């Protein structure tokens, strides 16, 4: 039985071309990019070329890119770093209710340190209202945090509109673009953000590497304390192979984006249409059109999400309830609660996320199997 993977939003396999580009940097070009000798200089050249390539794909300058260990570090670095740098100007932060935990937890940490926080609500579809943002910003606000697209329900925010408000009011604007970079066009000039987080393994690159875009002039205190790597902005021996892999992955995504977006949107729309048609009491969560091309998210009345995932797994289909961090813990997802879903429906949720190697046949097999599984689980729950 061929196993089918519908969990690209939690992590994606690396593209073989990415691994090929990385390989020399484990062996011949293994040097420490801070060393002044030839080994070091070659490593430095590789990482600076990678920085330039990644910067170009985002509409940024290369000196505005810092390589990190992933999306989590990038979010922590930007949020805690900006708060630390601007604390004397004000101690108020505005954040959406549907952020990833790697943005929410740093905000909660700052709240304990004495910052005040306004949580922005979202509507049924998961959208932040720009008017609400305008109203939330005070003369004490130093930072606004909104994620570009939800890792759970796939809703894509109108980040450009939110960015305009932040610029008008001269407050920092951090965007978690981990789910969008490589999947839909992301340009830091159009988004108007001060900082932006991305991660390698969500775009067919390696795990454990990411990047933080920091607009020139943005004050961000250092997050890791140590050496002066990354022009003094991020300590630790530079991850040359990781940076090369991340940049290569972003470049491949950009080249393939028009075709991948179109194909995945078509497969996604088959799921969004067919699942509610074939399964009574199935609810689509998220926005019908402002949605990641690779995200379909549902709730099924009278079904336990965990059991559904187990049954799918036994049928050779890997999916998720929404976020790997939420499943396992017996708490309804904060994102589903924020869009107003009842706890019952929240516990009966299913996220299907598609990617580079998803085929029409995978969708066929899911559509064939899912209705019977839901029916069986409902019958068992009714006994
Ligand atoms: C996966 C993810 C992260 C965390 O990235 P890591 O590289 O796994 O640390 C942050 N934000 C969003 C929206 C994500 O989907």
CA-closest residue to ligand 1 atom 12: 178
Condensed to tens digits (0 to 9), the pLDDT of residues 242-286 reads 999 999 999 999 999 999 999 999 999 999 999 999 999 999 999
| Same-domain check for residues 280 and 247 | no
- Report which ligand 1 atom has the smallest distance to the Cα of 202: 1
- Report which ligand 1 atom has the smallest distance to the Cα of 199: 7
| Same-domain check for residues 66 and 105 | yes
Which pLDDT score, from 0 to 100, does residue 325 have?
45
Would you say the CB of residue 102 lies under 6 angstroms from ligand 1?
Answer: yes
Would you say the CB of residue 150 lies under 6 angstroms from ligand 1?
Answer: no
Tally of domains in the chain: 2
Q: How many other CB atoms sit within 10 Å of the CB of residue 277?
A: 11
Q: Which of 126, 199, 206 to mutate to test the pocket of ligand 1 (most atoms within 8 A of CB)?
A: 199
| Same-domain check for residues 222 and 246 | yes
Closest CA to 213 of 55, 53, 49: 55
Coarse DSSP helix, strand, coil percentages of the chain, rounded to the nearest 5 percent: 45, 15, 40
Which pLDDT score, from 0 to 100, does residue 328 have?
55
| Same-domain check for residues 238 and 263 | no
Condensed to tens digits (0 to 9), the pLDDT of residues 32-56 reads 999 999 999 999 999 999 999 999 9
- Sheet containing 349-353: order of strands: 282-284, 295-300, 349-353
For 309, what's the count of Cα atoms within 13 Å in the CB-facing half-sphere? 23
- Report which ligand 1 atom has the smallest distance to the Cα of 207: 7
Which pLDDT score, from 0 to 100, does residue 381 have?
86
Would you say the CB of residue 96 lies under 6 angstroms from ligand 1?
Answer: no
Would you say the CB of residue 151 lies under 6 angstroms from ligand 1?
Answer: yes
| Same-domain check for residues 232 and 344 | no
Domain membership of residue 316 as a residue range: 4-12+257-382
Contact predicate 343/172, CB 8 Å:
no
Lookup: tokens for 380: 């068992």
**What residues are annotated to the active site?**
325
| Same-domain check for residues 233 and 333 | no
Contact predicate 210/187, CB 8 Å:
no
**β-pair partners for 14:** none
Q: State the CATH number of the domain containing residue 268.
A: 3.90.1150.10
340 CA from centroid of ligand 1 (Å):
24
Which pLDDT score, from 0 to 100, does residue 329 have?
55
Closest CA to 142 of 108, 115, 122, 121: 115
| Same-domain check for residues 318 and 174 | no
| Same-domain check for residues 157 and 274 | no
| Same-domain check for residues 111 and 158 | yes
Condensed to tens digits (0 to 9), the pLDDT of residues 298-311 reads 999 999 999 999 99
Residue 1 burial (C-beta neighbours within 10 Å; 0-12, 13-18, 19+): exposed
Inform me whether the pLDDT recorded for 70 exceeds 80.
Answer: yes
Picking from 195, 230, 252, the residue at the C-terminal end of a domain is: 252
Residue 352 burial (C-beta neighbours within 10 Å; 0-12, 13-18, 19+): buried
Q: Is 307 helix (H, G, I), strand (E, B) or coil?
A: helix
Picking from 221, 252, 283, the residue at the C-terminal end of a domain is: 252
**What phi-psi label fits residue 262: left (phi over 0), alpha (psi between -120 and 50 degrees) or beta?**
alpha
Inform me whether the pLDDT recorded for 150 exceeds 60.
Answer: yes
Residue 2 burial (C-beta neighbours within 10 Å; 0-12, 13-18, 19+): exposed
Would you say the CB of residue 176 lies under 6 angstroms from ligand 1?
Answer: yes
Would you say the CB of residue 72 lies under 6 angstroms from ligand 1?
Answer: yes
- Report which ligand 1 atom has the smallest distance to the Cα of 71: 5
Per-chain mean pLDDT for the chain = 96
Ordered alpha helix ranges (H), 9-157 = 16-22, 38-58, 71-86, 101-112, 130-136
Q: Is 365 helix (H, G, I), strand (E, B) or coil?
A: helix
Q: What distance in Å separates the CA atoms of residue 203 and residue 134, rounded to the nearest whole number?
A: 33
Lookup: tokens for 99: 């952020």
Picking from 198, 218, 252, the residue at the C-terminal end of a domain is: 252
Would you say the CB of residue 76 lies under 6 angstroms from ligand 1?
Answer: no
| Same-domain check for residues 68 and 126 | yes
- Report which ligand 1 atom has the smallest distance to the Cα of 99: 13
Inform me whether the pLDDT recorded for 383 exceeds 80.
Answer: no
- % of the chain with per-residue pLDDT over 70: 98
Q: State the CATH number of the domain containing residue 236.
A: 3.40.640.10
CA-closest residue to ligand 1 atom 10: 71
| Same-domain check for residues 141 and 162 | yes
| Same-domain check for residues 187 and 265 | no
Residue holding tokens 């789910």?
A: 179
Lookup: tokens for 148: 């570009």
Planar angle of CA 110, 115, 117, nearest 5 degrees: 90
**Helix H or strand E encompassing 267:** helix 240-278
- % of the chain with per-residue pLDDT over 90: 96
Residue holding tokens 């304990």?
A: 112
Q: Which of 72, 157, 351 to mutate to test the pocket of ligand 1 (most atoms within 8 A of CB)?
A: 72
Residue holding tokens 């080249």?
A: 255
- Sheet containing 195-199: order of strands: 65-68, 210-214, 195-199, 172-176, 141-147, 92-96, 116-120
């Amino acid at each position: 039985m061929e196993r089918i993977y519908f969990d690209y939003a939690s992590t994606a396999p690396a593209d073989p071309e990415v691994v090929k580009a990385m390989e020399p940097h484990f062996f011949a070009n293994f040097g420490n990019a801070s060393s002044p000798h030839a080994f070091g200089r070659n490593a430095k050249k590789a990482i600076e070329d990678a920085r330039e390539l990644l910067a170009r794909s985002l509409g940024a300058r290369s000196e505005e890119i810092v390589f990190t260990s992933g999306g989590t570090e990038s979010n922590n670095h930007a949020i805690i770093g900006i708060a630390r740098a601007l604390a004397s100007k004000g101690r108020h932060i505005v954040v959406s209710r549907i952020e990833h935990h790697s943005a929410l937890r740093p905000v909660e940490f700052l709240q304990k340190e004495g910052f005040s926080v306004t949580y922005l609500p979202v509507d049924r579809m998961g959208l932040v209202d720009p008017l609400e943002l305008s109203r939330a910003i005070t003369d004490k606000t130093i930072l606004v945090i909104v994620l570009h697209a939800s890792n759970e329900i796939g809703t894509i925010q109108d980040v450009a509109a939110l960015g305009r408000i932040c610029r008008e009011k001269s407050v920092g604007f951090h965007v978690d673009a981990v789910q969008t970079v490589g999947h839909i066009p992301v340009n830091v000039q159009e988004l108007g953000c001060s900082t932006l987080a991305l991660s390698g393994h969500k775009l067919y690159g390696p795990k454990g590497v990411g990047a933080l875009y920091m607009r020139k002039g943005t004050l961000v205190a250092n997050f890791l304390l140590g050496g002066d790597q990354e022009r003094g902005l991020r300590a630790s021996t530079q991850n040359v192979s990781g940076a090369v892999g991340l940049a290569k992955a972003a470049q491949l995504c950009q080249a393939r984006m028009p075709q991948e977006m179109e194909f995945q949107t078509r497969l996604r729309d088959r799921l969004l249409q067919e699942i509610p048609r074939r399964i009574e009491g199935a609810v689509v969560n998220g926005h019908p059109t402002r949605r990641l091309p690779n995200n379909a998210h549902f709730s099924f009345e009278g079904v336990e999400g965990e059991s559904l995932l187990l049954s799918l797994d036994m049928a050779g289909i890997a999916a998720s309830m929404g976020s790997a961090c939420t499943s396992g813990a017996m708490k309804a997802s904060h994102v589903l609660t924020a869009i107003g879903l009842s706890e019952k429906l929240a516990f009966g949720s299913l996220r299907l996320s598609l990617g580079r190697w998803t085929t029409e046949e995978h969708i066929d097999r899911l559509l064939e199997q899912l209705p019977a599984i839901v029916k069986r689980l409902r019958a068992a729950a009714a006994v």
